[in-house]
Amino acid sequence: MKKLELRYVAAVYPITSKMSEQYETDAETMRDLIHSLDERYGGFTEMFISVETNKLSLNTMIYYGDEGKVPVGVLNIDQPISDGATITFW
C-alpha cells in the first residue's frame, strides 16, 4: 500500500472540496491513481484523461515528486508512482 500526499488546486478543488490529503492506494501508475480518485470523487477521469486519445489531457496539469525530490510536470499518464510521493492535480 502506497501513502501519497495529494494536493488539489484550481478547478480540481471543487471536485474534492479539500486542498490536500494523505491518500493510501494500491495504484501502480498515474492512470491507476486517477481512476481510483474518480471512484472516490467522480470527475477525475474526464478531467485528466482525454476521451479522444486516452492520454493525459492537455487542459490540465499534474506535478509529481518522489519523496524528497522536486516535483516535475507529468507527461506520461502511465508513469509509475512511488510510496511517499507528492502529487499535485491542477
User: Domain spans of the chain?
Assistant: 2-89
Could you give the angle at the alpha carbon of 46 between the alpha carbons of 42 and 51, nearest 5°? 150
pLDDT over 90 at 58, yes or no: no
Report the percent of the chain where pLDDT is more than 70.
100
> Please, what's the largest Cα pairwise distance for the chain?
35
Report the percent of the chain where pLDDT is more than 90.
96
Task: Work out the average pLDDT over 13-34.
Answer: 97
**3 state SS of 9:** coil
Classify domain 2-89 at the CATH class level. alpha beta
